[in-house]
Structure 1
């Protein structure tokens, strides 16, 4: 299972504060969507979240999931990653830093962290006399399984 800096309970506490700050009512759907992403390690599309949500919340709608994800992203609870023209995938914000390898054929997303690569990025930024604020590295590949399918 993916490692997070915060427990799910801590994330929920922050969510409740954010909801009050924005003058909104508590919503079990917001909590449930966060739970789905937290427990599944993220990288889920709104449609995949909807499929999971429908099993436990018959009243869930795809449009409400899109609205909730937009709110959660604006408030810093989730991050989205554009994997291809089919749309975004979402994950919990606040996990340990990682980058992504994305298969352009099957859509598999692999998280990775490479200290040497992180150092190189810092050196490049320093050579431009700048300060790194953030980065998002996505490497688009044909994964091993897709390459094997081509040759079989």
Structure 2
């Protein structure tokens, strides 16, 4: 999804939640829409500040909470890391987290998807949703 249309979708979700769209909040939404990584609240605050938006960290947290409640972003909570966020408009993917650098990488693997479905079926279930996180480090 294009950055401007994603930012607009975020804005629309906030309006539905009864949140007023201030200049600072609109700037934060553009920063979030443009994020190609999985930023945490502090990183989003720093990026919005660098863009000249005088947004408070409290506003960042309130905005992220509202967007998450509206289902337009996902809150990712990885072991030992602050919560990170990503748009919820993408296709399904899993995550690998480098335990040494904190880098988060997205991946899709059809064999893993098939195996999970097979295991669930063998136990008499079907998968409704799932989340897979692999904590990794580079081989030495």
Tell me the equivalent position of 1:89: 84
1:57-80 CA-to-partner distances (Å, cap 9, x unmatched) read 442111110110010111011112
Equivalents in 2 of 1:46, 1:134: separation in Å? 26
Distance 1:16 1:86, change over 3 A: closer
Are 2:45 and 2:60, in contact at CA under 8 Å, matched by a contact in 1? yes
Tell me the equivalent position of 2:31: 36
User: When the two structures are superposed, what TM-score results if normalisation uses the length of structure 1?
Assistant: 0.79
Tell me the equivalent position of 1:114: 109
Distance 1:106 1:13, change over 3 A: closer
Deviates more, 1:97-106 or 1:6-15: 6-15
Displacement of 1:56 after TM fit?
2.2
Tell me the equivalent position of 1:150: none
Tell me the equivalent position of 2:130: 135
Q: Which runs of 5+ in 2 are unaligned?
A: none
Tell me the equivalent position of 1:25: 20
Q: How many residues align?
A: 140
Displacement of 1:10 after TM fit?
4.2
Equivalents in 1 of 2:39, 2:90: separation in Å? 15
Distance 1:100 1:65, change over 3 A: same
User: When the two structures are superposed, what TM-score results if normalisation uses the length of structure 2?
Assistant: 0.85
Are 2:40 and 2:84, in contact at CA under 8 Å, matched by a contact in 1? yes
1:120-139 CA-to-partner distances (Å, cap 9, x unmatched) read 11111111221211111000
Q: Which runs of 5+ in 1 are unaligned?
A: 1-5, 148-152
Coordinate RMSD, CA, aligned: 2.0
Alignment of 1:53 with 2:44, yes or no, is no
Alignment of 1:67 with 2:66, yes or no, is no
Are 2:11 and 2:26, in contact at CA under 8 Å, matched by a contact in 1? no
